[in-house]
């Protein structure tokens, strides 16, 4: 495109002003991201000035195949997949259901919408502490609620699998509002005439949903699935706030942090093994890449089939 603001040297002004932003981006984000590959082949520690040696695939070998720790790692990997799958599907289903309900022409829907969206601004620390209290095992609100149905739970202090399930619950609670909002944005692009036409043809509510809403919602479906799948594979902050680094509950993201920085709030502590943690980062990255690409391919094919 032609540039109007001067000739000669002054044509360089846009480049000059673009430079700071680009520089920060390379320095803080892109560069370090790529350097993770390099670090994964070294024995780097978190100590300033300590020698860094090239050790080839040793970190990967240790992470995946060596002894008790590698079994724990593979468990964490499995847990990451379970976490991501449950969060993605349940959040998707609930988000869609709530969006459909809130998008009707009823009174007070705005208020409800705002309420569901609220956790987004609070952040993981407040979300986590709020639920630690609500899940207070000795007669807290949720304990009393479950008691009404003859159930009980140790909640976050219970067996690892139980604590893990409650983190999934809070994660979905915290982020369902985003999924809902994306669906609402999608719903509002569907022309009203289509609904009217369907009604004139005598379609019932289910038929309208199946033949009008669902296919036309495809772009929001794609966004939500990709966003949630990739996001939940990398999410672990709520584990930090709700549980700390507890055996039997770790997911890959937390494992990377704990091995890389040795700062754990639980009883398990480790040293700074940053090369090893970088290798674990690459494992997580490959997981995200494979799942993300597979999902993307599948969704694009589906979109072609539906929208042509």
Partner 1 sequence: MSTQTASKFKSRRIPWDVIGSYLVMIFFALLYIGPILMLVNTSLKTTPSFMKDATSLATELHFENFREAWIKANFPRYLLNSILYTFSATIIYILTAVFVAFPIARGYVKYSGVILTLFVIALFLPPALIPQFQLILNLGLYNNPIGYILLFLVNPIGIVILVNYIKTIPKELDEAAAIDGCGYARFVWTIVLPLIRPAVATVIVLHAIGIWNEVIAPTIYLTNKNYYPITRGLIVFQGVYGSNWPTLAAAVLLLTLPMLVLFLFLQRYIVSGLTAGSVKG
Using CB under 8 A as the binding rule, the residues of this chain from 114 to 173 that contact partner 1 are: 114-126, 129-134, 136, 138-141, 144, 173
Decide: is 306 part of the binding site for partner 1 (CB under 8 A): no
Decide: is 15 part of the binding site for partner 1 (CB under 8 A): yes
Decide: is 294 part of the binding site for partner 1 (CB under 8 A): no
Closer residue to partner 1, CB minimum distance, 175 or 249: 175
Tell which one of 76, 240, 251, 255 touches partner 1 (CB under 8 A): 240
Decide: is 265 part of the binding site for partner 1 (CB under 8 A): yes
**What angle do the packed helices 119-134 and 160-187 form, to 10 degrees?**
150
Decide: is 5 part of the binding site for partner 1 (CB under 8 A): yes
Pull the structure tokens for residue 295: 């999902």
Decide: is 270 part of the binding site for partner 1 (CB under 8 A): no
Decide: is 209 part of the binding site for partner 1 (CB under 8 A): no
Q: What is the dihedral of CA 52, 57, 58, 60, to 10 degrees?
A: 110
Decide: is 290 part of the binding site for partner 1 (CB under 8 A): no
Q: How far is the CB of 159 from partner 1 (least distance, A)?
A: 20
Tell which one of 36, 70, 89, 211 touches partner 1 (CB under 8 A): 36
Closer residue to partner 1, CB minimum distance, 71 or 289: 289
Decide: is 297 part of the binding site for partner 1 (CB under 8 A): no
Decide: is 109 part of the binding site for partner 1 (CB under 8 A): yes
Q: How far is the CB of 164 from partner 1 (least distance, A)?
A: 20
Site string for partner 1, 42-81 (x = CB under 8 A): --x-x-x---------------------------------
Which stretch in 82-90, 146-154, 192-200, 256-264 sits in contact with partner 1 by CB under 8 A?
256-264
Report whether 181 contacts 121 (CB < 8 A). no
Q: How far is the CB of 4 from partner 1 (least distance, A)?
A: 3
Spell out the SS3 assignment of the chain: CCCCCCCHHHHHHHHHHHHHHHHHHHHHHHHHHHHHHHHCCECCCCCCCCCCCECCCHHHHHHHHCHHHHHHHHHHHHHHHHHHHHHHHHHHHHHHHHHHHHCCCCCCHHHHHHHHHCHHHHHHHHHHHHHHHHCCCCCCHHHHHHHHCCCCCCHHHCCHHHHHHHHHHHHHHHHHHHHHHHHHHHHCCCCHHHHHHHHHCCCCHHHHHHHHHHHHCHHHHHHHHHHHHHHHHHCCHHHHHHCCCCCCCCCHHHHHHHHHHCCCCCCCCCCCCHHHHHHHHHHHHHHHHHHHHHHHHHHHHHHHHHHC
Q: How far is the CB of 246 from partner 1 (least distance, A)?
A: 15
Decide: is 22 part of the binding site for partner 1 (CB under 8 A): yes
Q: How far is the CB of 173 from partner 1 (least distance, A)?
A: 7
Closer residue to partner 1, CB minimum distance, 68 or 283: 283
**Interface with partner 1: number of residues (CB under 8 A):** 102
Q: Which of residues 170-189 bind partner 1 (CB under 8 A)?
A: 173, 178, 181-182, 185-186, 189
């Amino acid at each position: 495109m032609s540039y109007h603001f001067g000739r000669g040297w002054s044509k360089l002004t846009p480049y000059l002003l673009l430079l700071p932003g680009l520089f920060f981006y390379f320095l803080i984000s892109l560069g370090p991201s790529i350097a993770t590959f390099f670090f994964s082949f070294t024995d780097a520690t978190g100590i300033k000035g300590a020698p860094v040696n090239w050790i080839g695939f040793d970190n990967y070998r240790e992470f995946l195949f060596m002894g008790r720790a590698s079994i724990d790692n593979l468990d964490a990997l499995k847990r990451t997949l379970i976490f991501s799958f449950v969060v993605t599907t349940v959040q998707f289903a609930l988000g869609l259901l709530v969006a459909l309900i809130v998008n009707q022409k009823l009174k007070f829907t705005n208020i409800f919408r705002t309420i569901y969206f609220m956790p987004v601004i609070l952040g993981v620390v407040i979300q986590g502490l709020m639920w630690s209290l609500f899940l207070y095992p000795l007669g807290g609100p949720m304990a009393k609620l479950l008691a009404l149905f003859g159930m009980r739970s140790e909640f976050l202090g219970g067996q690892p699998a139980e604590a893990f399930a409650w983190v999934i619950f809070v994660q979905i609670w915290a982020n369902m509002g985003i999924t809902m909002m994306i669906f609402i944005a999608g719903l509002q692009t569907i022309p009203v005439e289509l609904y009217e036409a369907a009604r004139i043809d005598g379609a019932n509510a289910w038929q309208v949903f199946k033949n009008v809403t669902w296919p036309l919602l495809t772009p929001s479906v794609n966004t939500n699935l990709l966003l949630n799948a990739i996001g939940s594979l990398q999410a672990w902050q709520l584990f930090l706030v709700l549980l700390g680094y507890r055996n039997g509950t770790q997911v890959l993201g937390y494992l990377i942090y704990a091995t890389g920085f040795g700062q754990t709030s639980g009883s398990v502590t480790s040293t700074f093994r940053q090369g090893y943690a970088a290798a674990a980062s690459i494992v997580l990255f490959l997981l995200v890449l494979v799942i993300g690409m597979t999902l993307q391919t599948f969704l694009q094919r589906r979109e072609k089939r539906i929208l042509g």
